[in-house]
Each structure stands twice: as C-alpha cells, then as structure tokens.
Amino acid sequence: MGNVHPGWDFAAFREYVIGHARNARVAHDQASLSKVTQIDSGLLGRYFRGETQPGPANLAKINEAVPGTTMQELLVLAGRATTESIGLRSVPTAPVPTLHPIADQVDRLLGDDSPLSPVERGLLAELLSHVLDRYDQGPRSATA
C-alpha cells in the first residue's frame, strides 16, 4: 500500500459513493461509476479496496457526477479532512437505498442503457406486466 491515512474507512467511502450513485441512478457499480466520473475503473477499485486515497481532483469529479454527495463529506470519508476541520457534526454515512435491489436491477435492464437485446427487454417487460397486472386490480384474497 502507498501512503494511506491509517484512520481512513475505505468501505464507508465506497458505500457512500456507490449508494448515492445508485439512488441518483447515474451508476450502479464501479464500472458504471468510472464512466460517469471519467476516473479509471482500476483506480476506483484501489480507492474502494483502501490501497490508495482519492485526491481532491478525483473527489471533485465524483462530487460533480454523483448527485447527493458533497465535497465536504467526500473529503472526510476519503480521509483528507476531519469532521471538525470541515464543520460537520458527524462522519457522513451511506444513503438509505431508495429501491429494492431487484427493482434497481430491473430498472437498469429495462432502461435505455440496458445490456439486454430489444427482444429480451420486451420479454422481460411482458413478463413483469403479466405478473403485476393482477396487483393493479386491487387487493387479492389470501386464497387467490
């Protein structure tokens, strides 16, 4: 490992960044975060494994690309500042997910950037519509 601050919680940093990216629907993993931030995926991986700490320039890229993040919180989570020096009351935490993980995955699979072929996307949409149509008709009995 390089010169890494001993008190740096890289797992909290990763959860904060990826959590905000997922909630904002701009990225869902390291690879997609790399695309939106223009930070090399390998470098992001080194940040997320705690091998190196992100500097202010890459923290600014994350802040610009990921809604919900603040530069002050990123600096603290990256071990570049303390809560006291930034004026925060406590260490920032990852956001609460806004979607069920499966709903998040379905959203990505049916979205414009889907890895599925148009035929597969259509089949998935048809299957989900078929299942969900029953619930659009109001409450069901326990024996249905």
SS (HEC) of 91-111: CCCCCCCCCCHHHHHHHHHHC
* Distance in angstroms (rounded) separating the CA atoms of residues 78 and 8: 6
CA distances from 12 to 47, 74, 103, 131, 141 (A): 11, 10, 24, 37, 44
Cα–Cα nearest to 8, from 92, 77, 84: 77
Residue 27 and residue 35 in contact, taking contact as beta carbons nearer than 8 Å: yes
Give, for 33, the enclosing helix (H) or strand (E): helix 30-37
Q: What pLDDT shows up at residue 140?
A: 56
The predicted structure's pLDDT at residue 12: 95
| pLDDT of res. 1 | 44
Token reading at 96: 């609460």
Please tell me the predicted confidence (pLDDT) of residue 138. 61
Q: 37 near 82, Cβ under 8 Å?
A: no
75-107 pLDDT, tens per residue?
999 999 999 998 889 989 888 887 777 887 888
Instruction: In whole angstroms, give the CA distance from residue 144 to residue 139.
Output: 10
Q: What is the pLDDT of residues 30-72, one digit of tens each?
A: 999 999 999 999 999 999 999 999 999 999 999 999 999 999 9
Q: What is the pTM of this model?
A: 0.73
* CA gap 105, 107 in Å, rounded: 5
Q: So what's the pLDDT on residue 48?
A: 96
What pLDDT band is residue 108 in, cutting at 50, 70 and 90? confident
What confidence category does residue 8 fall into, taking pLDDT thresholds of 50, 70 and 90?
confident
Identify the DSSP state of 47: H
